[in-house]
Chains A and B, each alone.
Chain A
Amino acid sequence: MISRGNLVSALALLAFIAVAAGCGQPPPEGNDGESGREGTSGEAAGGETTAQEKLEPGEGSLVVYSGRSEELVGPIFEQFEERSGVDVQVRYGETAELAATILEEGENSPADLFFAQDPGALGALDDEGRLAKLPEEILGRVPDHFRADDGDWVGTSGRSRVVAYNTDELEEGDLPSSVFGFTDPEWEGSIGWAPTNGSFQAFVTALRVLEGEDRAREWLEGVQANDPFVYPDNLSAVEGVASGEVEVALVNHYYLFQVKEERGQDLPAANYFFDGGDPGALVLAAGAGVLDTAENPEAGREFLDFALSDEAQQYFTDDTYEYPLIDGVEANEELPPLSDLQSPQVDLSNLDDLGGTLELLQETGVL
């Protein structure tokens, strides 16, 4: 039982650790993360030294905390690196968790730029005074309501709240003209939503701002009474629509295209945009801001300059199906143009009372 085998295995384990530790550094790191797809080839060609050198946050490097996933924004960072020669190091994570991380890090935060999925997280950092004012030439490129009132963050791409519906079960004419229509009992058991999602919560905040607390509560209680399907995220909700689990789901517009890309274009699902300034047609923005403690704020502004260039905006249009926010770049041909969307008139930086929304969601039993 005391077998030599045990001892040998234990020694082998220790030897492995020793060798691993001796090699010093974990090879992939910098190279791998910041430029996903290129990682492998770059590594093979450049070897470990290059990878290590790239890791050092030295002159001209930009540290980004990105709540937007590498699948979507990785290519933007790569293009920016190519154009500017600035070395970009990206830490990907959940938007809210990265915001909490920056708050915990305090003055020692290594981050230069925070790239967020939704305005809520940017607002939270802004409230704590953690964002630095952006120059007017960057802010001026997007419409007023896609940037912070105080100029501390700027939207980089737009997304509309929509109703994704199953085209086997419903026709466009079956859908209500306002999001309040879903409180009707006829929708019982056929609605899907994702209440933990940041965009959903931003929508509820907008509902409170536009219609008042009572109407917002009424809406939540009404939909809740229809026993909606709770999904962990927008994507699963759209999958639910496509599979017929639910007939409609309240989501952002671009998930439909992502699901179709993977599951095939003939899925029985489509987007429905409310009109007439209905709160259900809220257009939100993903955005970014430069940290007050940034070591390299200049590179951060340079990146924002690039993110609002024709080239980057065209990428969002073509590859992520989001709305471009600058003049001169047209929305994806699969989408109604931004100018046709009848979003409610609400300023995104007024959507910062997430705490109140959360309270309401918990009081109504939605969360």
Chain B
Amino acid sequence: MTSPAAVRTGGGRGTRPRRRAPLLLGGLGALIVAAMALPLVYLVVRSFEGGWEEIAEVVLDGDTLAVLGRSALLAGVVTAASVAISVPLAWLTGRTDLPGRRVWAVLAALPLVIPSYVGGFVLVSVLGPRGMLQGWLEPFGVERLPEIYGFPGAALALTLFSYPYVFLTVRGALRGVDPAMEEAARSLGSGAWTTFARVTLPQLRPGIVAGALLVALYCLSDFGVVSLLQYDSFSNQIYIQYRSAFDRTPAAILALMLVTLTIAVLLVEGRTRGRARYHGNAASRPASTVALGRWRLPALLFCGGVVLFALVAPVGVLGFWLARGLAEGEPLRPLWNAAWSSVYASGLAAGVTALAALPVAILSVRFRGRVSGLVEKATYLGYALPGIVLALSLVFFGANYAPWAYQTLGLLVFAYAIHFLPQAVGTTRSALLQVRPSVEEAARGLGRGPARVAATVTAPLAGSGILAGAALVFLTTMKELPATLLLGPTGFETLATRIWSATSEAFFARAAAPALLLIGISAIPLYVLVIREGAK
């Protein structure tokens, strides 16, 4: 797919001469890369403890490669499915006269706040061979439902709870598309579909790719879904090593292989991203609305179906468990402390991560080159590592080299930041791509220094992307578990740890209350984000 020339000329020049990044920006970039390198250093140290022999033994094991292939397959299928769901959803809720489109937009984004370990659990209880659905169908003679364990279930669950990454980034990109180009295409005789495919879609590409990358790497790192649905993926193998063998060397070797797979995904992404720039006219206006006409009903059914499976079903089941537990006399316990800790730590993580993402995104968009590209890519390494690997690497560094910071909130927030940085980098980058450099150049021309330009011109212009990034990090941090358990201050309790604590020893009802509260709280920033964007 090539982008039309019209898009590129929107920015003025096709390619611009390379500039050296200001020292401050470069320094910040270097600092961030150094932080990202910590887990890798740890993994290399641990991997080589057993010498080359053990490495060869683990890497060359026939099973290992098969498992690696299974992980890649899962990530590929889930990513493709997420894009296929999200692009129409974003377009329908952003550009058409779909009834209640803002409400649909919020509902479609909400599954993001459901932790995968909760979503997967619910999916198994509903769709299991003798699950709830089978119970409802029993009067019709259905004794057993088809097996959902393994690939189909894992792919379904991961798609349902991670497609919103693509939905949100595409929706953001859609906002930034200059309607003038679409109108020009329409006035030159293109139909609605052709215009979408040839003018709008190419401009959405950075958004799609940014979201797809988040989904793909999330699939590689996720443990909750694959363990519940029994899909033998790479992250599952890593957890088995940690959980059962107490041997950290094979786990580290496997994690390094996962890093290699991540680099491969990043290379693919680099090729997909393309070289075009996408800045539209800075003085853009709201796009005109496409009338759905007879497509309205199918569109509603599509949105309704997605929301039913990804949101209504899991929340409904949690509500049912809560009610069942309460009916059995299970007391409701106060959760406000845990809720506040969740919000507090996630808010800090969101702020710190959004700030850290800014220099990376500016470097990668405004100072394109091999080095700035590497800086941006490096931020994704922490994201694809399973939480337990990242957490143990920081346990190692924290306890041995920074005991003053060990088990403090500061180190925990640091862990969140290196884990989730790409979520903020991706959205910030997409937003920056749509800001015309000429505006910044004008500010420079009027005598402002680069740092001030970044703070007073670039940041506000890309504000919606930066905020979207912060919101994503907030939501993901709310759900985070392994790092919170191992790195938080002793006794630090969040909603996620409360859910874990309840599910690890039974008590669906006790898990349901914090899970519902987690979903409810996370929905607020998501709601504000989606509504605020829609109001523009």
Contacts and interface: CB of A to CB of B under 8 A. Distances in A.
B347 interface: yes
B246 A6 contact: no
Nearest to B403: A108
A260 to B, nearest CB: 10
Nearest to A5: B532
Interface string B315-348: 0000000001100101001101110110011011
Interface in B473-532: 482, 485-486, 489-493, 497, 501-510, 532
Contacts of A26: 341, 344-345, 409, 489, 492
A32 B337 contact: yes
Interface of B: 63, 124, 128-131, 149, 175-176, 227-228, 230, 240, 242-248, 282-284, 324-325, 328, 330, 333-334, 336-338, 340-341, 344-345, 347-348, 350-352, 354, 388, 392, 395-396, 399-400, 403, 406-407, 409, 459-461, 463-464, 466-467, 470, 482, 485-486, 489-493, 497, 501-510, 532, 535-536
Given A2-B461, A10-B460, A354-B245, A262 B337 contact: no
Most buried by B among A3, A90, A100, A196: A100
A109 B63 CA distance: 35
Give the size category of A's interface with B: 35 or more
A142 interface: no
Contacts of B466: 10
Nearest to B331: A37
A contacts with B: majority SS: helix
A27 B491 contact: no
A272 B459 CA distance: 66
Contacts of A124: 246
Nearest to B176: A1
B24 to A, nearest CB: 19
Contact of B244 (A1, A17, A33, A198): A198
Nearest to B396: A104
Nearest to B349: A17
A196 B227 contact: yes
8 contacts: A25-B409, A96-B243, A97-B243, A103-B248, A121-B246, A235-B506, A255-B506, A362-B63
Interface string A23-67: 001111111111011011001000000000001010000010000
A39 B337 contact: yes
A180 interface: no
A28 B493 contact: yes
B364 to A, nearest CB: 20
A259 B505 CA distance: 10
Contacts of B284: 1
Given A104-B392, A110-B406, 12 more contacts: A1-B176, A2-B282, A5-B535, A6-B463, A26-B492, A33-B492, A63-B490, A72-B505, A90-B490, A97-B482, A235-B503, A263-B324
Contact of A28 (B324, B340, B505, B535): B340
A261 B504 CA distance: 15
B399 A104 contact: yes
Given A1-B536, A13-B470, A28 B337 contact: yes
B491 A32 contact: yes
A298 B482 CA distance: 30
A244 B130 contact: yes
Given A97-B388, A121-B246, A110 B490 contact: yes
B381 to A, nearest CB: 20
Interface in A92-124: 92-94, 96-101, 103-106, 108-110, 120-121, 124
B347 A367 contact: no
Contacts of A263: 324, 328
B246 A96 contact: yes
A245 B131 CA distance: 8
A196 B399 contact: no
Given A105-B395, A105-B399, A355-B247, A32 B130 contact: no
A168 B347 CA distance: 51
Interface string A1-24: 111011101100110110011000
A244 B129 CA distance: 10
Interface in A241-263: 243-245, 255, 258-259, 261-263
A175 interface: no
Nearest to A73: B505
A362 B509 CA distance: 34
B491 A13 contact: no
Contacts of B492: 26, 28-29, 32-33
Interface in A130-160: none
A282 to B, nearest CB: 17
A239 to B, nearest CB: 8
